[in-house]
Structures are given as structure tokens and as C-alpha cells.
Amino acid sequence: MTVPCVKSVRSTSSSLRPVPSATSSPRKRLGIPSGRLPQTDPALRHWFGVFHQFHTEDDAYTTHALRLLPVGPGLDDGGRVTQAGTEPGAVGRCVYEVALHRDARGERWVLIMWEVDVPGIQFCDCADREEAMALLAEPARAAGRWHGVRVQRAKRPW
């Protein structure tokens, strides 16, 4: 069934108010003067994606605290890896996370080290929340207790 139309769109178009175009009145953008977004670091962008996937696919880990360390202690002044650079987290940026892990066996506290530049993930089991928070404040005290995985540098996704 057709609906009768009294006026066509063409006959009413002159009575409509003109819509201002985006180029006629540019809005001032806040933040960056050029209006462009800053370039993001591909390693950090990859870490955000993995972190999000890790915590949304399964609700076993509940985050309680996060800490970003910009550079590990395993580099010398020239940026070369020293003997201390063989320990997990010694080279590059690391994000430390205190999380409560819940599964069928119960609850346990864990300190998670996300190696942003490697990339990798390392776990350190803790007796309780207090120990996990103490290790978060001084991650070097967890040396020798880490277990986890790392990606070979040649196979990094960026």
C-alpha cells in the first residue's frame, strides 16, 4: 500500500535551515595543539591488549594493585645487557600486578610481572596479600621465585 505524500522533498528543501559544514566552523580541540593523537608505543599497545585479554577471558585473576617500572636494572649506561640482565624483568619496562587467583583449589595471592619489551609474563606465588604487596614495593626480593613464559625477541609481534 502506498502512502500519499502532500509535498515532495524537493519542494520543502528550500524551507529547511542550512546545516553548517564541519569546515565552516571548526571546533577548537582540547589537549594536543595539532589535534592529532600521540603515537603510541607498539610494545605498550601490545601489552594493553594482552592484559585486557588475560583478565576478560577468565575471571580467575582479580587485580588489586599495578605498578609500572620504566627500566629494569639489568642495563648499563650504553643500553647493553649486564650480568644482572639474565633475571626476569631485568631488561626493559615491567608492569607488576598483585592479583588474587581463585580456582577450584581455593584462593592464592600472586605477584605477576608483565615484561612489556620482551614480551613475557612471570608469576611469583605469595603466602598472603601482605607478602604480595611487599614484593610489589621491592620486586628485587622475588629474585629466583619467578616462573612463566617469554617470547623470543625475533618473534615479537611488533
Closest CA to 100 of 129, 75, 78: 129
The whole-angstrom separation of Cα 12 and Cα 7 is 7
Domain extent listing, the chain: 60-155
Quick check: 114 and 97 in contact, CB under 8 A? yes
User: What pLDDT band is residue 39 in, cutting at 50, 70 and 90?
Assistant: confident
The tens digit of pLDDT for each residue in 78-136 reads 545 555 555 566 668 899 999 999 999 999 999 999 988 888 899 999 999 999 999 99
Q: What is the pLDDT of residue 103?
A: 93
pTM above 0.75, yes or no: no
Q: What is the pLDDT of residue 157?
A: 77
Half-sphere exposure of 134 (CA within 13 A, CB side): 9
Q: What is the mean pLDDT of the chain?
A: 78
Give mean pLDDT, residues 53-68.
93
Please spell the DSSP secondary structure of 112-138, one letter per residue: EEEETTTTEEEEEEESSHHHHHHHHH-
